[in-house]
Amino acid sequence: MAHIGFEPSLPARHVSRRQLLRGFAAGGMGLAAAALIGCGASDDDGGAGGTTSSPATTGGGQAVPTQLAAGGTGVRVAGAPTPVSGLELPDEFIVATEGEPAGLDPYNAFTGYSGWGQMIARAMYQTMFELRITLDEAGNPQREWAPMLVESFERPDPERWLLRMRPGVTFHNGESWDAEAAVASYEWFTDEAILESLNRTNRFSQVASFEAIDANTVEMVTTTPNSEIWERFRTGFSALPPTVLESNWESLGEQPIGTGPFKLREFARGTHITLGQYPEYWGASSPVPYVGLPNYQRIKFLPRPEATVRTLQIETNESHMAFNIGAANAVPRLQHWAAGGGFQTSMVRMNNVVAPMDDIRLRQAINYAIDRQTIADQVFLGTAKPVAFFGFHPVEVEPYPYNPDEARKLVAAAGLEGHELEMVWGEFRIPEEEQLAELYVGYLADIGLNLRLNRQDAIAYNDIGGRPWPEQPPLFLETTSSGNSGVVSGLDDKFGCEGSGTYCNPSIEEAWQPLRNLEGEEFNTLLSQVANDLREDASRAFVVAVQLVHGLAPFVDATRLPRNTYIRVDELPFAV
């Protein structure tokens, strides 16, 4: 059985282009697929290395051998971080991102964007807990909730929690973080009028009460026992200063105030966001090993939507980090890059309530048609792993094998040879999405199905994905972080009869409900059972768990990056 959790490695076997492209010509995609895959396996020399202030070349050829990160995080880092010997380190860390947030208030910064937005937000704002995921020597995920603004907690009853706030923490405006500040922040995030004005929903409906019982302690009571309640706080809560919430919370969009290691210096829309160190940051002198004040004075975030442009900025030394550029850009062109600090699970969502996708034989056929290992090896160049469930969970479930002969038999048995299916795509959470879409055309052509691609912009894509199920397309190319830390929430959303996943099986949904009250091995055992039940029902085509790949300047030390949580700049110092 395959563990979902892995240490990425370069491909151990070579997959021939003939094997990879088998049947693509039938779908009219042979040349496009060949070009797309060819770029990932090419032997070209990459871009020209930078020659400005950096003492080491950042471009020019294949990546050097990889190393395992210190501390056992399992982050794959190409090129050891190189101290700038004899030269001054830059006092500004420059990061090329995929975009720019509409505003810097917590809702826009935290919940409106993917990994790059979280990186910006978490430099300024902080929450009470962070999820940390590391890998053991066997490559299995180890998950723990790491206290941040909560120093410790107790659970005297299944529904009752006592949270002790970390002392000595201050906001950027000098206010103190304490139990009253925690309650004020919680009340802001659950205020119905505010939620309506922001077009948001209450993420804390499972919390019955959240009250200060002394200066540093909050008592939280949940409506039912819920072992995953912290997922709601990790992604939907941040510490906010009470006086600002009382007087002018709308100002947070342009003048954010948090407790993080950096505070806003300049928000030049369309150009850059510059943050400066907060010298009173509690983590600067904290014994907590996963927080600290990095050794640069400023961070500048540059919006650069194209992955190739972000990569070029590393090669020309215009940026020190290029966020989420994909393996095809990093591996052939850069000597320094990291796979870690952000994950997605890439899959094909199948609309189980419309014909012919309501036929399990067709759903199984599509699963057998996809060569997951070749995709992991040749598209993601070893920075992804075939999966049959959300990535990075301690469950055992075997991915569907690549078996086009079995897939053809199933298509024939269903009487669907030559049938056309539409697949909507355009989310672009990962740079490889277009490659995947074209590959799926070839894979399905090889088993006798015609796949018609329907590319949409992000707004239209999300609109189509939110329509009533009968109005949605048969196939939907989806990359998601659902199931990261709140796997029950992910199951509710992607597989629940009231969720967004165009799949409904009441018996399987009933089977996962006890997960909310379980922990440890009991949790893992039931989750494995549910994952295998979903696989047997061919609920969707899980393909690969993906590590985001980031380009780096040679002096950026990424060995402390987490595997699967959002990047925090505390963990990205310059090498010294």
Is 160 in the same domain as 244? yes
Position 6 pLDDT exceeds 50: no
- Specify whether 543 is located in the same domain as 564: no
* 240 & 372 share domain: no
Do 272 and 361 lie in one domain? The reply is no
Q: Where are the alpha helices (DSSP H) in 58-199?
A: 106, 115-124, 179-189, 192-197
- Phi, psi (rounded to 5 degrees) for 127: -115, -175
Q: Is 556 helix (H, G, I), strand (E, B) or coil?
A: strand
Closest to 444 measured CA to CA, from 469, 410, 471: 410
pLDDT band at 445 (very low <50, low <70, confident <90, very high): very high
Query: Within this chain, do residues 24 and 147 fall inside the same structural domain, yes or no?
Result: no
> Would you state the pLDDT for residue 136?
60
- Digit-coded pLDDT (tens) for 38-51: 333 333 333 333 32
Read off the pLDDT of each residue in 67-92 and give the average, rounded to a whole number: 56
Sign of torsion over alpha carbons 207, 208, 212, 214: negative
pLDDT band at residue 569 under the 50/70/90 scheme: confident
Domain harbouring 379, CATH code: 3.10.105.10
β partners of residue 301: 95, 273
Q: What is the CATH number of the domain that holds 267?
A: 3.40.190.10
d(CA 515, CA 512): 6
Residue 83 within a domain: no
Identify the pLDDT of residue 134.
66
Q: Which long-range contacts (CB under 8 A, 24 or more apart) does 140-145 make?
A: 140/3, 140/5, 140/394, 141/4, 141/5, 141/392, 141/393, 141/394, 141/563, 141/564, 143/394, 143/485, 145/230
Cβ contacts of residue 481 below 8 Å, gap of 6+? 114, 343, 344, 345
Q: Which of 222-236, 351-365, 516-530 has the highest mean pLDDT?
A: 351-365
| Residues 355 and 227 occupy one common structural domain | no
Longest dimension (CA), the chain: 71
316: in domain = no
Domain count of the fold of the chain: 2
The answer on 358 and 500 residing in a single domain is yes
In this structure, the answer to whether residues 278 and 150 fall within a common structural domain is: yes
pLDDT in tens, 493-530: 899 999 999 999 999 999 999 998 888 889 889 999 99
Residue pair 301/115 in contact (Cβ under 8 Å)? The answer is no
Q: Are residues 436 and 542 in the same domain?
A: yes
Q: 112-170, pLDDT tens digit by residue?
A: 556 888 889 889 999 888 877 665 655 566 777 788 999 999 999 999 999 999 999 99
487 is in which domain, residue-wise? 19-37+341-548
The verdict on 223 and 287 lying in the same domain is yes
Q: Are 235 and 114 contained in the same domain?
A: yes
Residue 259's SS3 state is: coil
CA dist 348 and 192 (Å) reads: 35
User: pLDDT value at position 105?
Assistant: 86
> Is 357:351 a contact under the CB 8 Å cutoff?
yes
Q: Find, among 75, 37, 35, 146, the residue nearest to 547 by Cα.
A: 75
Say how many Å lie between the first and final Cα of the chain, rounded. Answer: 43
